[in-house]
Amino acid sequence: MLTTIIENMGLLCSRHQECNQSDAEENAQTAEIERRIEQETKAENHIQKLLLLGAGDSGKSTIFKQIKLLFQTGFDEAELKGYIPVIHANIYQTIKVLYDGSKELTHSEADSSKYVISAEIKEIGDKLSAIGGRLDYPHLSEELAREIETLWNDAAIQATYLRGNEFQVPDCAHYFMENLNRFSDVNYVPTKEDVLCARVRTTGVVEIQFSPVGENKRSGEVYRLFDVGGQRNERRKWIHLFEGVSAVIFCAAISEYDQTLFEDENKNRMMETRELFDWVLKQPCFEKTSFMLFLNKFDIFEKKVLEVPLNVCEWFKDYQPVSTGKQEIEHAYEFVKKKFEELYFQCTAPDRVDRVFKIYRTTALDQKLVKKTFKLVDETLRRRNLFEAGLL
């Protein structure tokens, strides 16, 4: 019996030791989890949140793709090939808009003869317009590319293209049409330029984490950039992203002062941008948020402003040209810039005047300019952080 008692005591001690060991392991695991959570929290606190906002077709998503190319590994071959159907769709959509636009002008213009499609290629136009209206676009074959090129070179289509601001002709239409042979090659793999020109309407929210690259070393700042859809029906998805934002990067396409919205052809795009910028500036959660305004698509603006008066836009109706050439381009740009500055300060309450506000002239397709711009944005935000920490 004594032996049994001793054996039972030994068993209890053994179980007690196992329990102690199990508790110790559990405690160690808990401590490790808590340590990791603390590390991740510190790392998360170090990450600055940037919100990329703007109306549809303002160039936001092109800026987003440039960041991926500049500050990450870019696009691998699989990602590049994933843009093939997008580029093909853009081509079909473009030629449909131009063909349908020429028919509309034929019926609405007094001098309509120059918009009449040649009889011998009308059948091609009808066929391509039908394809452009589908949801499932065919792969761009060499035969289809030749037909699109034939229609593109028709005088009526070229005349319609010159009035592209009246329709929804994409900015890269000419680029697409000039590269049809390459796009239809069986071994075609998109280049980074092709990807930047490819147009996919952003739906929902996409994000990217990056650290701008300096001349000799990486910046100490890490940014998480959020891009959201710019069309009206996408903007309700912005709200939950507004908290904890270090800076808003607002894209305004200054070349679109004579164009209308994709979703509302009665609304001028620049007026929509003005109203949207006004609304964003007045959001209570942005009272201490820095604002970086990208006056985008300057490359298109500098060509257009010499041909299309800036005062065709209601917001710019008081504009008066003063010169020609480069001097007039700069004068027009400074006028637009001043309009946005005035709007910013009109919408900024006295207790918010200390928030950072910077304006940058940008062309989203120009990689060197985008890199230079983000370097300036990075320097501005780092200086603000040092100032708030009392180190500057």
- 296 marked as binding residue: yes
197 known ligand binder: yes
274 annotated ligand-binding residue: no
Q: Are the C-beta atoms of 226 and 205 separated by less than 8 Å?
A: yes
Question: Which residues, 6+ apart, have CB-to-CB distance to 245 below 8 Å?
Answer: 49, 50, 51, 285, 286, 289
255 is in an annotated binding site: no
Pairwise CA distance, residues 145 & 177, whole Å: 9
Residue 35 labelled as part of a binding site: no
Please indicate if the annotation marks 102 as binding a ligand: no
**Is 201 marked as a binding-site residue?**
yes
Annotation-wise, does 305 bind a ligand? Answer: no
Q: Using CA atoms, how far apart are residues 96 and 108, in angstroms rounded to an integer?
A: 18
Asked if residue 299 belongs to a known ligand binding site, the reply is yes
Cβ atoms of residues 275 and 83 within 8 Å: no
Which residues have a Cβ under 8 Å from the Cβ of 180 and sit 6 or more positions away? 91, 140, 145, 148, 149, 152
Q: Annotation-wise, does 202 bind a ligand?
A: yes
How far, in Å, CA of 117 to CA of 101, rounded? 11
186 annotated to a ligand binding site: no
Does 185 count as an annotated binding residue? no
Residue 196 is labelled as binding a ligand: yes
Token pair belonging to 26 = 């559990």
Q: Would you say 358 is a known binding-site residue? A: no
The annotation status of 227 as a binding-site residue, yes or no, is: yes
291 CB neighbour count, 10 Å cutoff: 20
154 among annotated binding-site residues: no
Angle in degrees, CA 110, 116, 121, rounded to 5 = 175
133 is in an annotated binding site: no
199: annotated binding-site residue? yes
**What residues form the annotated binding site?**
61, 196-202, 227-231, 296-299, 364
**What residues form the annotated binding site for GTP?**
196-202, 227-231, 296-299, 364
**What residues form the annotated binding site for Mg(2+)?**
61, 202
